[in-house]
Amino acid sequence: AQSVTQLDSQVPVFEEAPVELRCNYSSSVSVYLFWYVQYPNQGLQLLLKYLSGSTLVKGINGFEAEFNKSQTSFHLRKPSVHISDTAEYFCAILYGNKLVFGAGTILRVKS
């Protein structure tokens, strides 16, 4: 069965600093991975996805993630964060026709 572990429940960071949100997965079959963002009291919005091909995936709002098969990781990165990036971020893996989500990481950007 597929599963996803987000290693940090909260990540505080100062504005304009780089950030990495960690995600590890467990899967015995081909892997499709996703990162979603949720702003307060809103639904989820897709940031980026890995389906195949290049292991470095670029998404919206300046985010990128790298698929690392040997380390079974799909960490999300941004070189310089803004206050507006404060939100909860979810890593997810496709399992059949369902998505399995991690517990989420709250990114708090401080000025």
Contact of 32 with 93, CB cutoff 8 Å: yes
- Cβ proximity to other proteins: between 53 and 111 the closer is 53
- Cβ proximity to other proteins: between 67 and 90 the closer is 90
Contact of 89 with 81, CB cutoff 8 Å: no
Footprint of other proteins (CB under 8 A): 32, 34, 36, 41-46, 49, 51, 90, 94, 97-104
- Cβ proximity to other proteins: between 98 and 110 the closer is 98
Contact of 61 with 47, CB cutoff 8 Å: yes
* Residues written for the chain: 111
Contact of 102 with 6, CB cutoff 8 Å: yes
Q: State in angstroms the smallest separation of the CB of 80 from other proteins.
A: 27
DSSP-derived secondary structure letter, 61? G
Phi first, then psi, for residue 7 (nearest 5°) are -75, -20
Q: State in angstroms the smallest separation of the CB of 79 from other proteins.
A: 25
Q: State in angstroms the smallest separation of the CB of 15 from other proteins.
A: 25
- Cβ proximity to other proteins: between 12 and 18 the closer is 12
